[in-house]
């Protein structure tokens, strides 16, 4: 509380604040206004980010176990591939080639121009067996796929749960125009929360 000597203030007059100080009520109102402003800016930024950069999606099925479970909620980055190339190992969301009304989520295994073959479940790209530590032993299968060169603007996709996944071994290559996002972050349920690798 601030006090002023009686002799310096006329009767019935409000004391003037000292230089650099504001009345308590004005200070509180200013603090609330700043807090509301910051809250509105944060909310607007969040809406813009979700609308233009990220999109929430729900996983349906178990073809991407163990990382993604049925009914997991995650954010996909819709903007990243405008600036960076799709890379081998990315987990992407795309329109299903046989029915663009449906969306699939799979891992990119081979890029345009790559030479790919699958020999009893072992994936070879450009003559090198690729390390697939994200596929547990119990999810592997013994399916093979003949050697092929991935066409221009196309990608070869596989699910991590190889024994049950419907992927490029069945529906073929995925055209670049069908890919619309990269899986970024699982936000629900809490036990699965974290980055998608």
Question: Which structure tokens are listed for 96?
Answer: 């299903």
Residue 186 has a CB neighbour count (10 Å cut-off) of 21
Is 129 considered catalytic here? no
Nearest to 130 by CA among 164, 173, 87: 87
Is 63 considered catalytic here? yes
CA atoms of 42 and 138, how far apart (whole Å): 45
The answer to whether 74 and 186 are in contact (CB under 8 A) is yes
Question: Which structure tokens are listed for 85?
Answer: 């190339």
**List 71, 78, 103, 106, catalytic entry:** 106
CA atoms of 64 and 68, how far apart (whole Å): 5
**List 27, 30, 46, 63, catalytic entry:** 63
Active-site residues, by number, are: 63, 106
């Amino acid at each position: 509380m601030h006090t002023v000597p009686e002799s310096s203030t006329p009767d019935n007059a409000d004391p003037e604040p000292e230089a650099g100080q504001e009345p308590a009520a004005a200070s509180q109102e200013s603090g609330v206004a700043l807090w509301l402003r910051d809250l509105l800016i944060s909310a607007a930024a969040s809406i813009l980010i979700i609308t233009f950069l990220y999109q929430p999606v729900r996983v349906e099925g178990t073809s991407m176990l163990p990382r993604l479970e049925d009914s997991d909620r995650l954010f996909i980055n819709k903007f990243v591939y405008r600036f960076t190339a799709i890379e081998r190992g990315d987990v992407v969301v795309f329109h299903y080639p046989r029915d663009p009304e449906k969306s699939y989520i799979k891992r990119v295994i081979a890029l345009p121009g790559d030479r790919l073959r699958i020999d009893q479940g072992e994936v070879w790209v450009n003559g090198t067996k690729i390390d697939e530590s994200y596929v547990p032993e119990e999810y592997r299968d013994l399916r093979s796929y003949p050697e092929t060169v991935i066409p221009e603007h196309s990608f070869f996709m596989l699910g991590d749960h190889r024994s049950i996944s419907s992927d490029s071994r069945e529906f073929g290559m995925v055209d670049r125009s069908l890919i619309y996002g990269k899986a970024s972050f699982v936000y629900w349920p809490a036990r699965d929360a974290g980055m998608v690798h």
